[in-house]
Amino acid sequence: MKRLFISLIVFCIFTCLSAYDAKKIIRIGTDQTDLVLQVAPNGRLYQVYLGDKLLHDKELNCFFPYVKSGSDKSVSTRGWEVYAGSGAEDFFEPAVAITHSDGNPSTVLQYVSSEQKSIKGGIETVIRLKDSEYPVEVMLYYRAYPKENVIKTWSEIKHQEKKTIILWRYASTMLYFSGNNYYLTEFSSDWAKEAQMNSQQLQFGKKIIDTKLGSRAAMHVHPFFELGLEQPVQETQGRVLVGTMGWTGNFRFTFEVDNAGNLRVIPAINPYASHYELRPNELFVTPEFIFTYSNKGTGQASRNLHDWARNYQLKDGCGSRLTLLNNWENTCFDFNESLLADLMKEANHLGVDMFLLDDGWFGNKYPRNSDTAGLGDWEVMKKKLPGGIPTLVESAKKVGVKLGIWIEPEMVNPKSELFEKHPEWVISLPNRKLYYYRNQLVLDLSNPKVQDFVFGVVDCILTNNPEVAYLKWDCNSPITNIYSPYLKNKQGQLYIDYVRGIYRVLKRVKEKYPEVPMMLCSGGGARCDYEALKYFTEFWCSDNTDPIERLFIQWGFSQVFPAKAMAAHVTSWNKNTSVKFRTDVASMCKLGFDLGLKDLNNDELVFCRQAVVNWTRLKGLILDGQQYRLVSPYEGNHMSVMYVNQDKSKAILFTYDINPRFAEKLLPVKLQGLDSFKRYKIKEINLMPNVSSDLIFDNQIYSGDYLMKVGIDAFTTNRAFSRVIEITAE
């Protein structure tokens, strides 16, 4: 009798629990957006809503997109499952695919539990799923940042099978959309051609954006996209999702429109050549996917990401940034101690904070006088720089600027002592002729010894020279000759373990040298993701510093990254444009210079010095303000961007005429983000010496209302002409 009673109670508890769990709603919400998940009667987890914030909590459990319509009210097994597995009833692209140790290729995940807790800036939700037949567990993580309206999500996979299992799909997450039309904007790229925006409508089937480049992974396409719901993305209106993956290696975004016209978006590490052997109890952590949803177009979405990045992700996101003079475009490999000392004087004369010494300062047996030799041998080249880094630090100190140094520690030239000593540290196919990219090979970062070496490069420079104030970390080659001598018969892990190896090194660097700002560079902007940016204060957008091209490149990157993370230098690319134009273009991001002052005439020099003063005075506004992209270079002959500070008391407007047509109709630039009731004084700055502003608005006062509704006549029909306008509330 007693036994029967206990069984009855257990039965009741169990049925209550499963009834409760079957209705369980998990709400991942920000101030503007809700992502709602629900456990269906079959015990599996489904996405029931993603969109504008829902105002009535009671209605949260009104959704059942996973229930079949008509008389059959069973759970549909096609689509909407949050982390759909392979080999089951969903015939479209899965989030996870596993070959179990017994060879079974299917995965069906049941909901187990979930919890929510507060984290810095938001709420973290962790959901536990478990395969119904195998000891495989998946944890789904969601971090919602209410104020910034950003959600960051990733997954973890683990098992207790007796032997290794093979992972061949491992998405960070999976999101679903139901609509009539979906439009994708992608960001294609190449050397000197980064962040080119192209849009297309998604039709039935799959569109895949991926890369197989390994180390210089984002050279051909960047790890972010914009999705327009019902209409192509627009700047100030329409429902959009902007998403980006924090992974400095091969990534893959899959957009699949299914038979019912629903869209699933799957951000993941690219599984290409990457069947991952997961040992029992080993944790496979996917990269973070970060997204924001906006019903006010991409302008708002970008501002969400900018705010979030500064507050929570970017290294020293709330700190300041250093202006600099770099020597790469000016001297290339051709310099010596006294020339560098002169350049440091020029840096001081220009008024920038730092001199950045680029490639070519190392290698003795194989001197780094071109890109054909010396990479890997991180000892100062005695012939060029007999006094070593200490002398450079001294010269910099003497003229009151800081010193920064370029490194490319993941790479090696075959003509190097490192290669002679450690050929086994290099990714290279044992039985084929080696293929070189920029005359170099990639070190095998999956090997802990190589990780120690790479950390040692940085550690040695910074320990021996604690006054080195900045590093530019380059990566000029994709992974070639793909074979790891270290991983031996586990080659399927190389692309993934390489990236994890870099992160291990970067983590050590950040822990030991938390104060040292670092620029992420990859032959330009081929590394630009939010995981790397946990370790870097900024990235080099492109070797292409032609200001006209930069208008497009910077416009592209600004969709996802704040100006604070984007390094832009004034160089001699496109000398057909004025020094003022080049400087004004670089001034809308993190300003630097890379030219010889001797190439400038007196007026240009005076202008540049004043531009540095202006930028330094206004950098808080440019780097931390709200960015409004006003006029797109993709839509005509002009471009304009502005920044507004927190209390709307100050703004800065940049306007650029690219290649206007004769007698072209010019429209005023309508400002955004101001206070309609504040009155603002307009002042054109960054003018060449002895040139006064021809802006009729100059020195006048207008309400924010007027400036936003009527606008400023700032555009002209001059070629490559620019204005920088300071806007100050009375």
CB of 423 to ligand GLA, least distance (A): 23
Q: Nearer to ligand GLA by C-beta: 477 or 577?
A: 477
CB of 557 to ligand GLA, least distance (A): 15
Q: Which of residues 515-544 bind ligand GLA (CB under 6 A)?
A: 521, 523-524, 540, 543
Read out DSSP for 340-405?
HHHHHHHHHHHT-SEEEE-S-SB-SSS--SSTTS-TT--SB-TTT-TTHHHHHHHHHHHTT-EEEE
546 binds ligand GLA (CB under 6 A): no
Total of chain residues touching ligand GLA, rule CB under 6 A:
12
**Helix, strand, coil shares, percent, the chain, to 5:** 25, 30, 45
581: which residues sit within 8 A by CB, 6+ positions away?
547, 656, 720, 721, 722
CB of 404 to ligand GLA, least distance (A): 12
CA 44/CA 130 separation, integer angstroms = 10
Q: Nearer to ligand GLA by C-beta: 476 or 655?
A: 476
Q: Nearer to ligand GLA by C-beta: 248 or 640?
A: 248
Of the residues 286, 476, 544, 559, which one makes contact with ligand GLA according to CB under 6 A: 476
Q: Nearer to ligand GLA by C-beta: 524 or 547?
A: 524
Q: Nearer to ligand GLA by C-beta: 94 or 592?
A: 592
Cα→Cα distances 323→130, 220, 403, 721, Å: 51, 29, 11, 24
CB of 630 to ligand GLA, least distance (A): 30
Burial of 447 (0-12, 13-18, 19+ CB in 10 A): buried
CA 643/CA 650 separation, integer angstroms = 8
CB of 509 to ligand GLA, least distance (A): 19
Antiparallel, parallel or unpaired: β 679-685 and 701-703: antiparallel
410 binds ligand GLA (CB under 6 A): no
CB of 592 to ligand GLA, least distance (A): 11
CB of 540 to ligand GLA, least distance (A): 6
CA 257/CA 207 separation, integer angstroms = 9
Cα→Cα distances 17→75, 137, 266, 271, Å: 19, 20, 32, 38
Read out DSSP for 132-195?
SSSSEEEEEEEEEETTTTEEEEEEEEEE--SS-EEEEEEBS--EEEE-S-EEEEEEE--TT---
- At position 584, the amino acid (one-letter code) is D
Contact 200, 183 (CB under 8 A): yes
Q: Nearer to ligand GLA by C-beta: 228 or 478?
A: 478
Antiparallel, parallel or unpaired: β 262-269 and 251-257: antiparallel
359 binds ligand GLA (CB under 6 A): yes
Of the residues 194, 226, 256, 358, which one makes contact with ligand GLA according to CB under 6 A: 358
Terminal-to-terminal C-alpha distance of the chain = 85
Report the SS3 class of residue 127: strand
Q: Nearer to ligand GLA by C-beta: 317 or 478?
A: 478
- At position 172, the amino acid (one-letter code) is S
CB of 571 to ligand GLA, least distance (A): 10
Contact 631, 638 (CB under 8 A): yes
Q: Nearer to ligand GLA by C-beta: 278 or 471?
A: 471
CB of 46 to ligand GLA, least distance (A): 46
Q: Nearer to ligand GLA by C-beta: 288 or 474?
A: 474
Q: Nearer to ligand GLA by C-beta: 302 or 416?
A: 416
Q: Nearer to ligand GLA by C-beta: 48 or 541?
A: 541
CB of 358 to ligand GLA, least distance (A): 5
Of the residues 170, 177, 328, 561, which one makes contact with ligand GLA according to CB under 6 A: 328
x-marked contacts with ligand GLA along 367-406 as a string, rule CB under 6 A: ----x----------------------------------x
CB of 568 to ligand GLA, least distance (A): 12
CB of 359 to ligand GLA, least distance (A): 4
Q: Nearer to ligand GLA by C-beta: 138 or 566?
A: 566
Read out DSSP for 461-529?
HHHH-TTEEEEEE-------S---TTTTT-GGGHHHHHHHHHHHHHHHHHHH-TT--EEE-BTTBS---
List the Cα angle 313/319/320 in 5-degree steps. 130
Closest residue to ligand GLA using C-beta atoms: 359
Q: Would you tell me which residues interact with ligand GLA (CB under 6 A)?
A: 328, 358-359, 371, 406, 474, 476, 521, 523-524, 540, 543
